[in-house]
């Protein structure tokens, strides 16, 4: 059986549902007497524009005017939609004149099977203990090209050696399977 594997690994902290961010520190160009470190995240592309946590609000608003339309929101947060209608693209939040948080809608699915799968994953991450608030994990993502299918894996490996594997398999005939397995 032929197999080709590409593997990507990051270290993440899952907080209930699974949010993580990566950031770096840069210095704004200001007079040398007023230099202050500003934390800018890696860029997040929303509607074709590249936003960063830490960027000035005015710069973010200019990008929004080019790429998107603002739907409601207030001075602290805005929901972004496509200029030609359509669904929600993401959200942007502000604090102290800067972008404080960003979110981009990746995919939304309505259906009991999808909801049941998410609940099973949630409970598995927390080891069926809903009082746990967070868990440190190593997240690995890789794919395998098999002779009759493509398999995509997400591995959540905990410090104690416990691993949760989410596997999506697409067979050559078009059938798809998603599997959640706990491993040791």
| 162 & 90 share domain | no
Establish if 31 belongs to a structural domain.
yes
| 97 & 160 share domain | no
- The model's pLDDT over 41-99, given as tens digits with 9 standing for 90+, comes to 889 999 999 999 999 999 999 999 999 988 876 678 999 998 887 788 999 999 999 99
Give the C-alpha separation, 141 to 111, whole Å.
25
Per-residue confidence (pLDDT) for residue 108, from 0 to 100: 74
Per-residue confidence (pLDDT) for residue 36, from 0 to 100: 56
Structure tokens at 38: 């500003």
Q: Which range (19-23, 85-89, 146-150) has the least confidence?
A: 19-23
Establish if 144 belongs to a structural domain.
yes
Mean pLDDT to the nearest integer, 131-156: 87
Residue with tokens 């493509």: 150
Virtual torsion, Cα 52, 53, 57, 63, nearest 10 deg: 20
| 28 & 70 share domain | yes
| 87 & 40 share domain | yes
Q: How many structural domains comprise the chain?
A: 2
Q: CB 64: neighbour CB atoms within 10 A?
A: 18
Per-residue confidence (pLDDT) for residue 84, from 0 to 100: 80
Establish if 34 belongs to a structural domain.
yes
Give the C-alpha separation, 139 to 9, whole Å.
6
**Greater model confidence, 168 or 74:** 168
Element (H, E) at 113: helix 112-125
Q: Which residues contact 172 (CB under 8 A, 6 or more apart)?
A: 148, 149
Full domain range(s) for residue 174: 5-16+133-183
| 179 & 158 share domain | yes
Establish if 52 belongs to a structural domain.
yes
Establish if 139 belongs to a structural domain.
yes
Residue 12 dihedral angles phi and psi, to the nearest 5°: -140, 160
Per-residue confidence (pLDDT) for residue 160, from 0 to 100: 83
Establish if 111 belongs to a structural domain.
no
Structure tokens at 116: 């049941």
On the question of pLDDT at 24 being above 60, the answer is no
| 27 & 10 share domain | no
């Amino acid at each position: 059986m032929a197999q080709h594997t590409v593997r990507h690994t990051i270290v993440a902290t899952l907080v209930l549902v699974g949010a993580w961010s990566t950031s770096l520190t840069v210095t704004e160009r200001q007079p040398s007497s007023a230099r202050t470190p500003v934390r800018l995240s890696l860029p997040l592309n929303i509607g074709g524009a590249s936003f960063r946590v830490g960027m000035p609000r005015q710069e973010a608003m200019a990008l929004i005017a080019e790429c998107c339309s603002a739907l409601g929101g207030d001075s602290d947060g805005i929901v972004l939609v496509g200029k030609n209608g359509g669904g929600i693209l993401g959200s942007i939040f502000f604090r102290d004149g800067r972008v404080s948080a960003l979110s981009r809608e990746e995919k939304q699915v309505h259906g009991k099977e999808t909801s049941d799968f998410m609940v099973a994953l949630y409970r598995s991450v927390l080891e069926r203990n809903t009082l746990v608030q967070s868990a440190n994990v190593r997240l690995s993502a890789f794919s395998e090209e098999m002779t009759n299918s493509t398999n995509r894996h997400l591995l959540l490996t905990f410090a104690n050696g416990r691993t949760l594997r989410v596997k999506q398999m697409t067979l050559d005939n078009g059938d798809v399977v998603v599997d959640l397995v706990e491993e040791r």
